[in-house]
Structure 1
Amino acid sequence: MNNQSKLENVNVTTLKNEKHTKASEAATLHKQRKLKKAGLFALFVGPAFLAFALIVLIPFFTGMYYAFTDWNGVTGNIKWVGLDNFTYLFTEDKQFQTSFWLTLRYTVVAIILTNGVGFGLALLVTRMLKTRNILRTVFFLPNLIGGLLLGFIWQFIFIKGFASIGQLTGLSFFKLSWLGDEKTAFWGIVIVSVWQGAGYIMLIYTAALQNVPQELLEAAKIDGANKWQTLRHITLPMVAPAVTVCLFLTISSSFKIFDVNLSLTNGGPFKSTEMLALNIYTEAFVNNRYGLGEAKALVFFIVVALITIIQVTYTKRKEIES
């Protein structure tokens, strides 16, 4: 009996050892798989994250530090000034305040016109027209032209082209000093920006309109709904996600307008059309007050971030309600 008990104990111990060995092998295999997945993830994501960190994250946090200094952007003398830059912005820097409200006004106008024109063009090119593919290309082409080049082209059009048309036709619209007057220069920037951006917005709305079920449109037509009722109660609710995206894109691009502003008016006449991005650039790289420019950029970032978050949250909520 003693020998049998000993044999049974040996068998139990052997089974326990085998189970423990298998569990250890399974744990090791699981760990190896996790390491392999982590390695593949690092291999694919690592270079992109490194580039993002070098180009975006490090300059962003470095700029946040400089916003609290009086660095001129050239010498190595950096003095910590705390909130002095921000106090100066909101109390003494009138040009910053003027540029801020001008940018806000421009953004509202550009958002409405760019989305309105883009949606109108999308409705046009989704019609069963023989030339719809050509029209899509023509409407999208301005978006491929760089902002600086576009500004110089339209500067020639406003100064030389419109003047020639005005002489030939006698129309006062073409005789206006488009870039020499504060009011018309503002609208000149709006015209160029809408002309450039509407084609891109058109593509997003076109994709959304093509996904609207034709059965719904046909049913509405049979029920006696006119085109406006169909657009308001069927088409617009169905393309609500595209509206959210387009509003986000136009808000972001309108607030950050720089190249068209620089090449078309350079902030003139007398800084009356100097948008916020151009004001920040001038402060940092022309006036050599880099710390103050970074303070303006930080305020600019916070304002744009808050506005876009509110916009996306609100439009997403409206999507769910509709």
Structure 2
Amino acid sequence: MNETTKRTKRRRNWKKPASFIAFVGPAFLAFVAIVLIPFFNGIYYSFTDWNGVTGELNFVGLDNYHRLFFEDEQFRASFWITTKYTLVSVLLTNIVGFSLALLLTMNIKTRNFLRTIFFMPNLIGGLILGFIWQFIYVKGFASIGALTGWSLFELPWLGDAQTAFWGIVIVAIWQGGGYVMVIYIAALQNVPTDLMEAARIDGANRLKMLRHITLPMIMPSITICLFLTISWSFKVFDTNLSLTNGGPFKSTEMLALNIYTESFVNNNYGLGSAKAVIFFLVVAAITVTQVYVTKKREVEA
């Protein structure tokens, strides 16, 4: 091997790591600065009594975590209402999104227009969406109830704990249903038509084809949609803040809003950081378990 060939080979060997660093390096530095450093700072602050304003802080050990589990009733109440909201919202959002996807993969002339209409709510920011629906619940429903006399529209939608909870759920489904619909449509379009035709010739009805062919074939999309909706539901903040602000009497205060209030309203950043750490561990454990279980179903399919 001559000297020119050796130099060319050395340059090629250097080009690969240099290209990798050039493309990945800036993104990695941004990730470290925006995600990793604040994350580990938050863990550190969870063991202190810092108020988030002054530079004075004291190490208090596990006192913040002790307060969470044994003294902070509102945190436990927020954890329960968030869990309840997540179960209902994840189930209904996926059912609505999948149903819309089934409908809009049929031979309907206006299906492209309808796909756009159903996806559009996802483009509206959560704060704006909350204020829009607050107006609908308070003014719009009251006007419809006065005109029609229907008791459904005369309910205190944001003034009662039960109806306020369902008011947030309705907004979540309205916003997220169109997004998961797009994912399900992409999956349904990839189901082999010859397989469906063979099942139809063999006498399988729509329900059997849905259960034994369609659902197993789109399990990867179900995994993604479940992961996304669980993450959205646990971390809901903007619509909770703008729609009810945790009311009435903190009956709809989700975990993210509870952490925000503790840290930036009550100026108890140490305790708020401890809540955020517990929140992170719970969400991570649930999402990892969900992905593991649904991935196993993909393998079986």
Q: Name the TM-score, length of structure 2 as normaliser.
A: 0.97
Aligned partner letter, 2:183: I
Looking at structure 1, the residues matched to 38 and 291 of structure 2 have their Cα atoms a distance apart, in angstroms, of 26
Mapping of 1:37-186 within 5 angstroms? 37-186=16-165
Alignment correspondent of 1:14: none
Aligned pairs (5 A) from 1:1-322: 22=1, 30-322=9-301
Q: Percent identity, aligned pairs only?
A: 68
Shift of 1:35: 2.4
Residues 28-65 of structure 1: per-residue CA shift (max 9 Å, x gap): 65544332211111111111111111111111111111
Distance in structure 2 (CA, Å) of the matches to 1:216 and 1:38: 46
Instruction: Name the structure 2 match of 1:19.
Output: none
Number of aligned residue pairs: give it.
Answer: 301
C-alpha separation in 1, matches of 2:260 and 2:53: 15
C-alpha spacing 1:31/1:109, structure 2 compared with 1 (3 Å): same
Q: Deviations over 1:275-304 (max 9, x none)?
A: 000000000000000011010000000000
> How far apart, in 1, do the equivalents of 2:269 and 2:211 lie?
49
Distance 2:47 2:99 in 1: 46
Structure 1 residue 175, shift from structure 2 partner? 0.4
Deviations 1:72-131 (A, max 9, x none): 000000111111100100000000000001101100001100000000000011010000
Structure 2 residue identity aligned to 1:158: Y
Q: CA RMSD in A?
A: 1.3
Secondary structure of the residue that 2:49 maps to in structure 1?
Answer: coil
CA distance in 1 between counterparts of 2:7 and 2:81 reads 63
Deviation at 1:173, TM superposition (A): 0.4
Structure 1 unaligned blocks of 5 or more: 1-21
Which runs of no fewer than 5 residues in structure 2 stay unpaired?
none
Change in CA separation of 1:67 and 1:26 when aligned onto 2, cut-off 3 Å: farther
| 1:6 corresponding residue in structure 2 | none
What is the rounded CA distance, in whole Å, between the counterparts of 2:5 and 2:276 in structure 1?
Answer: 54
Secondary structure in 1 matching 2:213 = helix
Cα distance, 1:208 vs structure 2: 0.1
Larger radius of gyration: 1
Matched residue type, 2:103: L
Mapped to 2, the partners of 1:42 and 1:233 lie a distance apart of 47
TM-score, normalised to structure 1, is 0.91
**C-alpha distance in 1 between matches for 2:129 and 2:74:** 26
Secondary structure of the residue aligned to 2:288 is helix
Shift of 1:164: 0.5
The Cα offsets for residues 118-159 of structure 1, whole Å up to 9 and x where unpaired, read as 000000110100000000000000000000000000000000
Q: Deviations over 1:202-248 (max 9, x none)?
A: 00000000000111111111111111111111111111110000000
Q: Which amino acid aligns with 2:201?
A: I
Aligned partner of residue 247 in structure 2, secondary structure: coil
The answer for the alignment partner of 1:11 in structure 2 is none
